[in-house]
Amino acid sequence: MERRTIGAAALEVGAVGLGCMPMSWAYSGSQQRGAESLRTVHTALDHGTTLLDTADMYGPFTNELLVGRALRERRSEAFLSTKVGLLVGEQHIVANGRPGYVKRACDASLRRLQTDVIDLYQLHRADPEVPVEETWGAMAELVSAGKVRALGLCAVGAHSRRGSGTGLHDGTIRQLERVQQVFPVSTVEAELSVWSAEALDALLPWCEARGVGFLAAMPLGNGFLTGTLTPGGGFERDDVRARHPRFTAEMMAANQRVVAGLRRVAARHGDGTTPAQVALAWVLSRGRHVVPVPGTKRERWAAENARATGLRLTAEDLAEVTGLPAALGSWD
């Protein structure tokens, strides 16, 4: 697999990562496919993927335990990314960016992941009660202590600010400018896909100009862009898509035109090329500092996604995908 260098610490990873979240959290059937999930991690590594993206919050905790188990014999082949700063409460998710907590959480993640060092430690969300410099300072001390190699910031929850009249990622960029004063940012993780391309406006250029890597979360549009979901099929209550405005039966039907465009491009490349691979190849084409982290718990899909790095989209393909109709159904 093609390799990409991301971030301030010149970290090298396989160009397509593996999002481990669906193995334990957020999607139907999570937690029910443990054995296959373990094999999925191995399949991804076998195909040249190195970046494994997890978080203490996924499960909570069970996703890190699973990744730690999967890597017992193969730790050196993986680039391990986990996150801190979000806790699952009784009723809702809460941020905690207090320095003492961050340090304890890191030790707990190291234990669950069965490793001495985390390659990339990401701040999942800034805590509104704690100046972000203080949280970031504690994370920087973990680098000095040799427990963490590099630091990243996540900006995935930005949809809640849509429609506020400001750029979607303005707040994230302000946060990035502040933490950069304390310790270099190696990566930013935010949503980027064919149907959610807002990061291209300001966030991606901000990263590119500063040598910061960009991890594209939800690059398959929560599975929609793969063309394997049936409108009206419904989702279990614990599936994030059950409450997502783009996943009502009506919006899924309306957004089929996006999938149809991906299918058209895939068909031109033959050899079983899939819409998922076209969606990932388009994300990869957005910059040499971009690494998509498609999530899956299935071996077959981890292999298919890894093979997207071999797909060379032409200028005509890229223009066609970029020009697909905007998706309907928003958080506004």
Residues carrying an active site annotation: 58
User: Which tokens in the block code for residue 312?
Assistant: 């060379």
Tell me how far apart the alpha carbons of residues 78 and 315 are, in angstroms, rounded to a whole number.
Answer: 33
Site for ligand NAP in 77-136 (CB under 6 A): 124
Tell me how far apart the alpha carbons of residues 44 and 131 are, in angstroms, rounded to a whole number.
Answer: 38
Least separation, in Å, of the C-beta of 164 and ligand NAP?
19
Q: 193, 206, 147: which is closest to 294 by C-alpha?
A: 193
Tell me how far apart the alpha carbons of residues 6 and 234 are, in angstroms, rounded to a whole number.
Answer: 38
Site track 151-180 with ligand NAP (rule: CB under 6 A), x = hit: ---x-x------------------------
Least separation, in Å, of the C-beta of 98 and ligand NAP?
19
Least separation, in Å, of the C-beta of 61 and ligand NAP?
15
- Chain centre distance of CA 202: 18
Region of 43-51, 158-166, 175-183, 299-307 interacting with ligand NAP (CB under 6 A) = 299-307
293 binds ligand NAP (CB under 6 A): yes
14 binds ligand NAP (CB under 6 A): no
Q: Which of 70, 118, 276, 313 binds ligand NAP (CB under 6 A)?
A: 276
Least separation, in Å, of the C-beta of 137 and ligand NAP?
21
User: Which tokens in the block code for residue 313?
Assistant: 């989209």
Q: 4, 5, 2, 38: which is closest to 20 by C-alpha?
A: 38
Residues in the chain: 332
Backbone angles phi and psi of 272, in degrees to 5 = 70, 20
Sequence-separated contacts (24+) of 72-75 with Cβ below 8 Å: 72/114, 74/42, 74/45, 75/114, 75/115
Residue with smaller CB distance to ligand NAP, 115 or 196: 196
Q: Which of 4, 53, 148, 324 binds ligand NAP (CB under 6 A)?
A: 53
Site for ligand NAP in 212-241 (CB under 6 A): 217-223, 226, 228
**Looking at the DSSP assignment, which residues form a beta bridge with residue 157?**
none
Q: Which of 7, 22, 68, 287 binds ligand NAP (CB under 6 A)?
A: 22
Give yes or no for a contact between 16 and 309, defined as CB atoms under 8 angstroms apart: yes
For ligand NAP, the binding residues (CB under 6 A) are 19-22, 27, 53, 124, 154, 156, 189, 217-223, 226, 228, 276, 293-298, 301, 304-305
